């Protein structure tokens, strides 16, 4: 197991600086993406088309940050040929940046729907669910990034496990909205836009879970993808020799 205090203790100060830089750049991109999600949901709830336009404009910036961080990772791999925890750090950053870019894409989709709904000028059913699930996934993104910043595998585990709660609430909201459309066919167009927003929020939760799983891999060296996370416990509570069950 590693922590943030011993990840950059090499003889080469330049190597230390490169690792710290690329980690800082990832967290900076994460902060921007988190703001994108928050602003996209706010733009929809408050019918603020100007804010929605800003969210869409930020997308090109996050795309550029993804390319830049990816190039940094490739340069470090080529020059330093890192091993063990250093290699896990670079792999985790390289994969997390993809999930962050996709979170930005989903926030941009929400912003586009917000503009459409603003133009329709009527508050459709489903805003309560958007506000609630939007706050949940925003917190998942924030805590996944906090876990990365602090090398906190326990926090990452709680984020990954929480994704099932978001999935469950998304399905419940979906059933209610479909029932509402059947009762009032005139609402189909507007409610479909809300359903697409909820779908984007559910996908953001999935990407936050991916980042959390990469933090666990980084800190513990354990690949928990496709395992029974619901049965996993924080490091201090785990019994020896636990083998996670498959879903």
CA distance 159 to 211: 9
Handedness of CA 112, 115, 120, 122 (dihedral sign): positive
CA distance 25 to 68: 9
CA angle 160, 153, 137 (to 5 degrees): 30
Radius of gyration of the chain from Cα atoms?
20
With cut-offs at 50, 70 and 90, classify the pLDDT of residue 33: very high
> Using CB atoms within 10 A of its CB, is residue 209 exposed (0-12), middle (13-18) or buried (19+)?
buried
- pTM higher than 0.85 for the full model? yes
Asked which of 5-9, 217-221, 224-228 is least confident by mean pLDDT, the reply is: 5-9
- Could you tell me if 211 and 205 are in contact, meaning their C-beta atoms sit under 8 angstroms apart? no
pLDDT tens-digit series, residues 60-114: 999 999 999 999 999 999 998 888 889 999 999 999 999 999 999 999 999 999 9
- Could you tell me if 177 and 126 are in contact, meaning their C-beta atoms sit under 8 angstroms apart? yes
pLDDT tens-digit series, residues 147-204: 999 999 999 999 999 999 999 999 999 999 999 989 988 888 888 999 999 999 999 9
């Amino acid at each position: 197991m590693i922590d943030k205090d011993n990840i950059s203790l090499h003889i080469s100060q330049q190597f230390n600086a490169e690792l710290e830089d690329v980690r800082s750049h990832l967290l900076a991109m994460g902060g921007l993406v988190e703001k994108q999600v928050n602003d996209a949901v706010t733009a929809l709830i408050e019918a603020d088309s100007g804010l929605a336009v800003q969210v869409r404009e930020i997308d090109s910036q996050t795309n550029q940050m993804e390319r830049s961080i990816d190039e940094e990772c490739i340069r470090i791999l080529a020059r330093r040929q890192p091993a063990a925890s250093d290699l896990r750090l670079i792999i985790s950053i390289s994969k997390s940046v993809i999930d962050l870019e996709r979170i930005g894409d989903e926030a941009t989709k929400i912003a586009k729907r917000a503009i459409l709904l603003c133009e329709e000028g009527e508050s459709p059913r489903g805003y309560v669910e958007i506000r609630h699930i939007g706050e949940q996934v925003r917190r998942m993104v924030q805590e996944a990034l906090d876990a990365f910043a602090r090398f906190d595998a326990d926090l990452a585990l709680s984020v990954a496990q929480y994704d099932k709660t978001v999935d469950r609430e998304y399905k419940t909201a979906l059933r209610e909205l479909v029932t509402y459309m059947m009762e009032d066919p005139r609402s189909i167009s507007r409610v479909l836009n809300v359903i697409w927003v909820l779908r984007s929020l559910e996908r953001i939760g999935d990407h936050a879970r991916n980042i959390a799983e990469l933090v666990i891999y980084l800190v513990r060296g354990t690949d928990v993808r496709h395992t029974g996370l619901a049965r996993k416990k924080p490091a201090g509570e785990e019994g020896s020799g636990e083998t996670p069950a498959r879903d």
